[in-house]
Structures are given as structure tokens and as C-alpha cells.
Amino acid sequence: PFKTFFDSTVFIDNRAKNGRSTRTFISEKLWQAVSDKLERGDYVFIQFGHNDEAKEKTERYTSPDEYKKNLRKFITDTRKKDAKPVLLSPVTRRRFDDQGNICETHAEYSPLVRVVAAETNTPFIDLDKKSRELLQKFGVSHSKDLFLQLAPGEHPNYPDGKDDNTHFNELGARLVAQIVLAEIRALRLDLADRIVNKDNLKTP
């Protein structure tokens, strides 16, 4: 959804890869491919955590200390190319308590991103917090409308249905993108000057 909010001078190269942690993103040379292509003035939006914190999946799990180390590597490598890193905490999962209050789902790893951002003087977007606020506004029931929540037979790609509280549908992705764009403006990044339709950056 980001590309619809920027003018024609901005090219978006999405290198995110499903199921990767900071550790596997490095070991599989995915980060090297990003670093090799960076040019002066590029922005690199760095967000990990969902897969790093998955202790039950040892092939991708990354300890907190290694997680911070890897984030620092991304920042250092980006700056070596005179590019501009931006750190984001992991976007929340959809989980409410019995009273209808949104729950923290990255309580250990999100604060680590803030720590690294402060230590390295890197712009930081607390997307975990902002996305929790968004889901709280939608509430327990209506927040389902932002995720891949599908009944059997509703979508040809998911004939058996889908009950996914992690991955967004198109609407959810667009609203989260709008949060990030609003934060880019709040941080006064140069990139904010390239945003069009600024009046539309208001989430429900």
C-alpha cells in the first residue's frame, strides 16, 4: 500500500521475506542482497521480531542479545552506504483479553528495538504500540475485518477458510501503512516531503 501514498520520485523495493528472523535473513544472504544494492540517500525500513521470538521454531529463533546485535548490523551496514535506517517495532498480533482489551504480543522484543534505536540514534516507529491502539479502536469483533479471517469457501486461495490473527488483509495492510506514513511525518524525515494525499493519513 505504500506506493499509493508517495509521489513518482519514490521507488519502493520490498525485500521482506515470510518466516525470516534477523538471523535467517542474514544467514540466507537476504540482507547482503539489500546492502549490496543500497545507494546514498536510500531509506531502509527495518522491522523484525515475529520470527525472532518464536522459541518453538529453533530454525529461526534468535535470542534477545543476538536480535539486538543483528539490528545494529543492519543499521551499521546501511550507514556505510550513506543510506538512512529506520527501526520499527513488530506490528501487533490480534489478541484480546476477556475484558476486550488488546494484549501485548511482543512484550520482550519490541522494547529491544527502542533500546537499539536510542543507542544508535536511529529514527524509531513504535508500530507495536500504534497498531495495538488501532485494533483497540476496532474492538474484538470488528478488528477481524483487518486480518485474514475467512470462512470455508469464501476465498479460492483458502478453500478451507483461514483464522489468521497475524497477517493483514488489504484493508488492514493499508491502515498499518497509513500509521507508518503518519509517523514518517511526525519524525520529520526528508521522505515525508514525497508523501502525497497527506490529508488521508488518518486512521479510524
Query: For residue 90, is pLDDT > 60?
Result: yes
3-state secondary structure of 43: strand
pLDDT recorded at residue 88: 98
pLDDT (tens digit, 9 = 90+) per residue, 113-155? 999 999 999 999 999 999 999 999 999 889 888 888 888 888 8
Q: CA-to-CA distance for 120 and 75, rounded, in angstroms?
A: 8
Q: CA-to-CA distance for 29 and 46, rounded, in angstroms?
A: 16
pTM above 0.85, yes or no: yes
> Which residue in the block uniquely carries the three cell numbers 504480543?
105
CB-based contact 58:71 (threshold 8 Å): no
Work out the average pLDDT over 164-174.
87
**What's the grid cell of residue 112?**
529491544
Query: For residue 201, is pLDDT > 80?
Result: no
Q: CA-to-CA distance for 177 and 156, rounded, in angstroms?
A: 26
